[in-house]
Structures are given as structure tokens and as C-alpha cells.
Amino acid sequence: MERILVTGGAGFIGSNFVHHLVDRTDAEVVVLDKMTYAASRDSIAGLPTDRVRLVEGDIADEAVVEPLAAEADAVVHYAAESHNDNSLADPAPFIRTNLVGTFTLLEAVRRHDVRFHHVSTDEVYGDLDLNDPKRFTEDTPYQPSSPYSASKAGSDHLVRAWVRSFGVRATISNCSNNYGPWQHVEKFIPRQITEVIDGRRPRVYGDGLNVRDWIHTEDHSSAVLAILERGRIGETYLIGADGERSNVDVVRAILRHFGRPEDDIEWVTDRAGHDRRYAIESGKLRHELDWQPRYADFDAGLTQTIEWYQQHQDWWRPAKAATEAKYAQKGQ
């Protein structure tokens, strides 16, 4: 049985991957998570205790990381500060976790020759114009816009340098915007669903025409497992499911679901440096590793997600008021 260390495994996407590993492999999983505001014990509750163990700790703390890396066959690295708006308000934790944390993990896997997979984002490539026919590929130059995306870009560069200079056995994936159950209410889709459940208007930045390329988190997990098992060392794979939608279109779909008028929208202050459009060309992953998304229909995935938030109000309500208070201070 393989032992896999999953950093950030109590977060939105990492916890989905932990479930995926338990369902699809025989691996023993150790979750290393600092349990920040973004983590949830509930998201990994109920998994077999002989297969999954949670260690509360910081990836930037060498004393924590060293023994866990020493006993792992592979490390799958999700832990990060992940929210752009937070990085604009206070970049410091992004530098510490996303850069120093990744460095600390790389040094540990180098010492113990452990396979490493680095989970990153399409935001490292900056943005595209709305009418640009191009999509991001593995060859697109890096041009990050926010402190968050710059810290993730830096972490990708660290991984590549550790592969080339030290022979670390690593792969990288850059994925587009995820949606699905267990996503924190600070993020766009859960924020709008929960605003509408609470009888308020969805809150859209700027002109609402910014485009994101949505993928269900289950599809992200299956792609990461394919790369972990069959990806070529040193390679980068873009993960996407052809889910381009403008923000205002997503909000209109949520309003329609609740039988509310489609123009019942609160237009709020735009995000500083707001990226216009992300779009992923995932042909390398699909052809080389024979991967396909299961949630090809975004509207069906969105409906499932809306229903999940309707049914899990006990989970998201404790975070909702504080999240909205933070946004209100910024006129968002």
C-alpha cells in the first residue's frame, strides 16, 4: 500500500482528492493541513481511520514536514492561501505559505527522493482578451496579475528548478476555476448561491463580463490522480473542461434556478487588477493520459452544487457573516 501525503487536504479541492484516493486506490493518506479559516474537518469526516490521518501543521515548518515526507511515497501539494481578494488585502500569508511552504516541501522531498505533484492554477498565465481566439497552453508565458497568482507562479518556478537542478521527481498541473460542494463562501459561486438563499442580491464585480473556465472539483481530482499515476516527470499538464462562462451568465443561471428575475443583481466595486478571461486548452492531458471530464454539462453541475448548499446550511452559515462583513468594508 502506498502512503500519500496530501497537503491542504482539509480544503475545498484537497478534501475532494482525499475522497478520490480512498475511493479509487488502496493508498494510505496523511493529510497535512494548518486548518486555516478555509479548512473543514467535516469535508473529510467519516473516512476510514485506518486509511486517512489528519496532521494539523504548517507546510512552512520544516520540523513538521520532515518526518511526514520521510515516510511518504508521494506528496500531492494542494495547501495554499487561495483567494485573490484576500491577497490584495494582505499578501504576507500568500508569500509565506505559497512560496516558503512550497520551498520547505521541495527540500524535504529532495532529501528523501519522494515523488511530488504540485497543484497550481491557470492564473499564472495572466489573462486573455474576451475576443481572443487563443486559450492557455503549457507553453503560454507566465504573466501573473495578483499577489496570489504571483505567489503560485513563483511556486511553479521553484518546482521546475528543483526538477532540473536536483532531479526531484515532480509534475505540475495548472487548473482552471473549480466549483462544487465544500467550497468556502468567500468564492464567487458559493457566495452568490448563499446570497440568494438569504434573500439578497448576487454581487457582481465591475461589468460582470469577466470569463472563468469552470471545472467540477471531481474532474480536477481525477486529472490529478491520472498525472500522479501516469504523468511524465518534469512535465506540466493544464487541466480544464471547456467551461467558459461570463460571471453575469453564471449569476443569471443561479437566479433562474431560484425563480428570481435575471437582472436582480447588485453591481459592486471591481477587483483591483481583475483578470478579464481565463481559458484552458487541455489537449495534452486528454491525449497523453487519456483523461476526460465527467461533468461536461456545467448547468447540471451548477444545479447539483446549488442543491448541496441548500442542504448544507449548517456547514456554511458559521463563515457567512464574517465573510460578508469583510466584503462590505471594501464596498463589495
> How many chain residues touch ligand DAU (CB under 6 A)?
19
Question: Which of the choices ligand DAU, ligand NAD, none does residue 204 contact, using the CB cut-off of 5 to 8 A by kind?
Answer: ligand DAU
Binding mask 3-42 for ligand NAD (x = CB under 6 A): ----xx-xxxxx-----------------xxxxx-xx---
Pick one of ligand NAD, ligand DAU, none as the site partner of residue 101 (Cβ within 5 to 8 A by kind): ligand NAD
The one catalytic residue among 28, 107, 122, 195:
122
CB atoms within 10 A of CB 41: 12
Q: Which does 35 bind (CB under 5 to 8 A by kind): ligand DAU, ligand NAD, none?
A: ligand NAD
Interface with ligand NAD, residue 221, by CB under 6 A: no
Separation between Cα atoms, residue 61 and residue 144, nearest integer Å: 26
Residue 187 sits in the site that holds ligand DAU (CB under 6 A): yes
Residue 77 found at the interface with ligand DAU (CB under 6 A):
no
- Contact in structure between 152 and 144 (CB atoms under 8 Å): yes
Residue 278 sits in the site that holds ligand DAU (CB under 6 A): yes
| Whether the Cβ atoms of residue 184 and residue 319 lie closer than 8 Å to each other | yes
Strands 178-179 and 203-205 turn out to be unpaired
- Quote the CA–CA distance of 48 and 31 in Å, as a whole number: 13
The distance of closest approach from Cβ of residue 57 to ligand NAD in the complex, given in angstroms and rounded to an integer, is 7
Nearest residue to ligand NAD by CB is 11
What's the DSSP call for residue 43? G
Mark 191-230 with x for binding to ligand DAU (rule: CB under 6 A) and - for no binding. Answer: x-----------xxx----x-x------------------
- Cβ-based nearer residue to ligand DAU, 125 or 162: 125
Looking only at the bridges linking them, the beta strands covering 52-56 and 74-77 are unpaired
CB nearer to ligand DAU: pick between 146 and 171: 146
Which residue has the closest beta carbon to ligand DAU? 121
Q: Which of 229, 124, 117, 226 is nearest to 173 (CA)?
A: 117
**Does 87 contact ligand NAD by CB under 6 A?**
no
The residue from 123, 186, 218, 244 that is catalytic is 123
Does residue 78 have an active-site annotation? no
Kindly indicate which of the ranges 76-84, 129-137, 273-281, 285-293 contains the residues binding ligand NAD, using the contact rule CB under 6 A: 76-84
Give the contacts of 298 (CB within 8 A, at least 6 positions apart): 214, 243, 245
78, 125, 148, 295: the active-site residue: 148
For 149, the grid coordinates are 497568482
Task: Note if 122 is an active site residue.
Answer: yes
Q: Is 300 exposed, middle or buried (0-12, 13-18, 19+ CB in 10 A)?
A: exposed
| C-alpha grid cell, residue 318 | 458559521
Site for ligand NAD in 35-74 (CB under 6 A): 35-36, 38-39, 58-60
Q: Which three cell numbers stand for residue 146?
A: 495578483
Q: What is the DSSP string of 51-114?
A: TEEEEE--TT-HHHHHHHHHT-SEEEE------HHHHHH--HHHIIIIIIIHHHHHHHHHHHT-
Would you tell me how many other CB atoms lie within 10 Å of the CB of residue 96? 15
- Per CB under 6 A, residues contacting ligand DAU are 82-84, 121-123, 176-177, 187-188, 191, 203-205, 210, 212, 247, 271, 278
Residue ranges binding ligand NAD (CB under 6 A): 7-8, 10-14, 32-36, 38-39, 58-60, 78-82, 97, 101, 119, 121, 152, 175, 177-178, 184
Active site residues: 122-123, 148
